[in-house]
Amino acid sequence: MIHGPGERCRHCDVVFRDFAEYYRHLADAHGVRKFVCPNCGAGFARKVMLNKHLVKEARHMRRAKIVERLQALQCSVCEFRPPVKRLGRESSVRARIRDHEHRAHGLHGALPKVESAAPEGVAEAQGERYACDVCGAVYGCRRALGIHKRVHRERIENFARGFV
């Protein structure tokens, strides 16, 4: 069947000027879907629309694989997993896990060293754990201990103000 000017639809006798209008009409009026997605089975009247669909579907599948890989990352000590709500960088998820391991378990530079050839004082500062002199809580670095000590200062200030 040649689709030239003045060609009629075989279903409803509508006249079309060109081939593209004819296929749009078949899709809209009669539900004919010539191009089918091999992955999900969605049908399209034009190949251009199928190609757009395939590009979007490929992007969605890549993102799903990345999110799945990020959700598999967890703490090496416990089963802590940071929430992955949206597509993020793997380095930021790893940083959140590393921060958790440092704060919750005292890992990453906080473990005591058995022997060291460094001068006295340097090895001790690198390998020791830092204990709070008020409550005895132990931390792997001075920064974490300093953050913890703010709690005690705030409690003392609130007690002095009468906000116990």
Give, to the nearest 10 degrees, the angle between helix 47-72 and helix 90-105.
20
Tens-place pLDDT, residues 14-60: 888 887 787 778 777 887 778 889 988 888 877 888 999 999 999 99
Tens-place pLDDT, residues 108-129: 654 333 343 444 444 344 456 7
Long-range contacts of 109-116, Cβ-Cβ distance < 8 Å, separation of 24 or more: 109/140, 109/141, 110/139, 110/140, 110/141, 111/140
Can you tell me the distance from the alpha carbon of 73 to that of 115, in angstroms, rounded to the nearest whole number? Answer: 33
> In terms of residues, how long is the chain?
164
What confidence score (pLDDT) does residue 55 get?
A: 94
Tens-place pLDDT, residues 88-98: 677 788 888 88
The total of other beta-carbon atoms located within 10 Å of residue 101's CB is 19
Domain extents in the chain: 129-161
